[in-house]
Amino acid sequence: MTVSTVDADARSGGGRLLLTLLLPIIFVNVIAFIAPVANLVAMSFREATATGSMKEGMDLATWSSLVGDAYYWSMLWRTIWIGALITLVTLVLSYPLALFVSRAEKAKALLIVLCISPLLISAVVRTYGWMVILGDQGFLPALLRSFNVTPPRLINSQLGVVIGMTEILMPYMILSLLSGFGKLDTTLEQAAETLGAGPLTVFRRIVLPLSMPGVLLGCLLCFVLAVSSFITPKMLGGGRVALLATEIYDQAIVTLNWPVAACLSVLILIVFGTALLFYGQLSKIVE
Amino acid sequence: MQNFTRRKVLALGAMGVAMPWVTKASAQERKITVAAYSDIFEDIYKKAVIEPFMKANPGIRVDYMGMPTSAQNLGMLRAQKAAPQIDVCIMDVVVAKAGGDEGIYKPVTAEQLPVMKQLVPAAIIEGVPGPAVTFDTIVMMYALSKFPTPPTSWKELWNKQHAGRIAIDAPPNLLGVGLTLIANKLAGGGDYRQSIDKGIQLLGEMAPLVQTWDPKPNPYAAVANGVVDLGIGYNARAQTISKQNADRMAVAMPEEGSIAQINTINLVNGSKQPEAALQFMSYALSAEAQATFTEALYYVPTNKGAAISEEARKKTAATPERMARMIDVDWIEVAKFRDKITEQWRRNVISRS
């Protein structure tokens, strides 16, 4: 037996072992992800009658009515820009907090736990909390009234959705940023300072570029969660903020138009795919 | 071993020998599942209808599956189409029609269900698989602290004094669809099948006063908890919740009349126990069960023979003068342009709030 034969045998044995090890996860993925997504795509090619019952057979009627309706295009655009706005606000609020936590010398672990502790409470409960704080008789409007300021509509509006979603997504952003800050070498900042750079220059030229992988990861995570989020926009939007996720709920649960709900779900998957592509490209540039 | 007397050993042996027959007897108990609304409906329906039925029919066990909406009820059965786990569904007439068209429910006839002959004519709806089991109406709920005298007209929804203190469930929710038809009548819009433009225009004038188009958890709680002063809802639930919050919330049935909501009872196609399911449906439609349920939850019974107290009658739309003022609506027809109504609301009503 030659050396090359032994290597080939080892490779084929290793391949078989790898395949055996991968089989359970492939099986789970086929059952729990690929099959439901295929079912969803198939459903999008069906058509519902005016009373909600589904017609037999498949065609492009639902897709063509959806693509030709300007209302859905405006909803798609609104979903993307509200998702982007929430992501941006979350990033702006989370960045200094995450930087402070990553540089804390005392009780760093405790601070991290405090930052992510909201995840221990369900998003529904936290959203109800915001309804109490921002509601007409809530703490914040009452505070504003005590300063003779007429409070704006803080819930049942787009503003309410942005506030609620930002708070819900901050732990995810902080965790992603903390992973990015782990790569920061403080000696580089010291070197820059030694060479005469001010704090702003150090931040702009050293800290921010080196933390970009964490920023990009956090943005991707928050954008995807914001676009697919249903509970908070439904509860804090008061029926005024129609997004893809809330429309899917209405079509699937209220009007029973499952084909339209399936088309919109596929549309959300396309948005996610595009976001992932952007993330991949931007990651390459940053690295 | 001293505890094991000969008598005990013989008794245990006899039990062992008898076990196959015991198991067989227990297997003969028929089990059916009824899917209907959750929350208050579930609590009261179990006590008023299901428990008395099981007492009268010890061989049939009825499990109740609470569903938040009729559409979710049908959704569950769509997923179980090959092997349904539900036998009887109580749901809104529009959803029942959709399920019937898909073959999920089996049409029932008066031959299979003789009790149908006792129902009011409006309970048998063409194209819908099962007969109506309850009627309800759309009403206004109001906060007692804000109304020294009860409101008597739908026009109260346009009163600027309530700016930012009104909760309306917008379409596609059927409450919002119903309000559209009421507004169309108020605006003199004529036949809703021809046009609802005047109703939409009138609703657009109300829009700036509305706090929420999607009250959470529901419009009843929003009024009872003082989040809003005025809302619209279904009479049966509104009456029950106002009874529980007698110092905070009350119900008004406006003088211009209202719209009926219809719940039907349907036999699932492929039910493993169709006879037991029909037996249950027969009981649910009987005068006795209908009267008991109305006394408890104020739905209008569909059985002509249901004897209800004057107190309960006053809390339903079943009084002759209220029935005379009801706006005639064909929900199956309305369902065909529900999408159009929803779109008009989004463009011309909600956008103005």
For residues B266-288, give the mean pLDDT.
97
Query: What pLDDT is stored for residue B281 in this prediction?
Result: 98
Which has more pLDDT, A263 or B1? A263
CA end-to-end distance (rounded Å), chain B: 83
What is the distance in angstroms between the Cα of B165 and the nearest Cα belonging to chain A?
Answer: 9
A253–B69 C-beta distance less than 8 A: yes
- For residue B212, give the nearest of A51, A239, A256 by CB distance: A239
Query: What pLDDT is stored for residue B10 in this prediction?
Result: 64
Tell me how many residue pairs between chain A and chain B have CB atoms under 8 A apart.
81
DSSP annotation of A252 reads I
Query: What pLDDT is stored for residue A56 in this prediction?
Result: 81
Is B4 a residue whose pLDDT tops 60?
Answer: no
In contact, B137 and B261? CB cutoff 8 Å? yes
CA end-to-end distance (rounded Å), chain A: 46
Task: Domain of residue A203: give its range.
Answer: 71-286
* HEC profile of chain B: CCCCCHHHHHHHHHHHHHHHHHHHHHHCCEEEEEEEECCHHHHHHHHHHHHHHHHHCCCEEEEEEEECCHHHHHHHHHHCCCCCCCCEEEEEHHHHHHHHHCCCEECCCCCCCHHHHHECHHHCCCCCCCCEEEEEEEEEEEEHHHCCCCCCCHHHHHCHHHCCCEECCCCCCHHHHHHHHHHHHHCCCCCCCCCCHHHHHHHHHHHHHEEECCCCCCHHHHHHCCCCCEEEEEHHHHHHHHHHCCCCEEEECCCCCCEEEEEEEEEECCCCCHHHHHHHHHHHCCHHHHHHHHHHHCCEECECCCCCCHHHHHCCCCCHHHHHHCECCCHHHHHHCHHHHHHHHHHHCHHHC
The total number of residues shown for chain B amounts to 353
- For residue A156, give the nearest of B95, B173, B212 by CB distance: B212
Distant-in-sequence, close-in-space partners of A255: CB < 8 Å, separation ≥ 6: A52, B71, B172, B338, B339, B342
In contact, B219 and B169? CB cutoff 8 Å? yes
In contact, B285 and B112? CB cutoff 8 Å? no
Q: How would you classify the pairing of strands B88-92 and B260-268? A: antiparallel
**A210 inside domain:** yes
Q: How do residues B83-128 score in pLDDT, each as one tens digit?
A: 999 999 999 999 999 999 999 999 999 999 999 999 999 999 999 9
Contact residues, chain A, for B102 at CB < 8 Å: 53-54
Domains of chain B, earliest start first:
30-134+262-308 (3.40.190.10), 136-260+328-352 (3.40.190.10)
Contact residues, chain A, for B211 at CB < 8 Å: 136, 156, 238
> Does A259 sit behind a cis peptide bond, omega within 30 degrees of 0 on the bond before it?
no
CATH number of the domain that residue A98 is part of: 1.10.3720.10
In contact, B108 and B128? CB cutoff 8 Å? no
**A29 inside domain:** no
Q: Which of residues 166-195 of B touch A (CB under 8 A)?
A: 170, 172-173
Query: What pLDDT is stored for residue B18 in this prediction?
Result: 59
Share the mean pLDDT of chain B: 92
Could you tell me which of B46, B44, B39, B92 has the C-alpha nearest to residue B294? B44
Count of structural domains within chain A: 1
Q: How do residues B313-350 score in pLDDT, each as one tens digit?
A: 999 987 888 888 899 999 999 988 988 999 899 989 99
What is the distance in angstroms between the Cα of B136 and the nearest Cα belonging to chain A?
Answer: 19
Q: ipTM of this predicted complex?
A: 0.81
> Does B301 sit behind a cis peptide bond, omega within 30 degrees of 0 on the bond before it?
no
In contact, B41 and B11? CB cutoff 8 Å? no
CA distances, A240 to each of A153, A275, B95, B163, B179 (Å): 12, 26, 26, 16, 18
* Band (B17; pLDDT cuts 50, 70, 90): low
Spell out, as residue ranges, where chain A has pLDDT lower than 70: 1-12
**A49 inside domain:** no
* Band (B12; pLDDT cuts 50, 70, 90): low
In contact, B285 and B116? CB cutoff 8 Å? yes
Could you tell me which of B246, B271, B268, B288 has the C-alpha nearest to residue B89? B268
Pairwise CA distance, residues B131 & B124, whole Å: 5
In contact, B265 and B130? CB cutoff 8 Å? yes
Beta-bridged to residue B143, according to DSSP, are B249
> A83-94: b or e for each residue (b if 16 or more CB lie within 10 Å)?
bbbbbebbbebb
Q: How would you classify the pairing of strands B260-268 and B132-143? A: antiparallel
Is B192 a residue whose pLDDT tops 60?
Answer: yes
**A1 inside domain:** no
Beta-bridged to residue B136, according to DSSP, are B261
What is the distance in angstroms between the Cα of A91 and the nearest Cα belonging to chain B?
Answer: 29
**A19 inside domain:** no
**A137 inside domain:** yes
**A5 inside domain:** no
Query: What pLDDT is stored for residue B1 in this prediction?
Result: 43
Is B9 a residue whose pLDDT tops 70?
Answer: no
B213–A240 C-beta distance less than 8 A: yes
Contact residues, chain B, for A51 at CB < 8 Å: 94, 97-98, 101, 332, 335-336
Q: Is the dihedral of CA B3, B9, B15, B19 positive or negative?
A: positive
Is B71 touching A (CB cutoff 8 A)? yes
Residue of B216, B227, B352 best to disrupt the A interface, most CBs of A under 10 A? B216
Query: What pLDDT is stored for residue B8 in this prediction?
Result: 66
For residue B138, report the phi and psi dihedrals to the nearest 5 degrees. -90, 130
For residues B211-231, give the mean pLDDT.
94
Neighbours of A28 (CB within 10 A): 10
Vertex B313: Cα angle to B307 and B315 (nearest 5): 145
* Residue recorded with tokens 């914040």: A140
Query: What pLDDT is stored for residue A5 in this prediction?
Result: 62
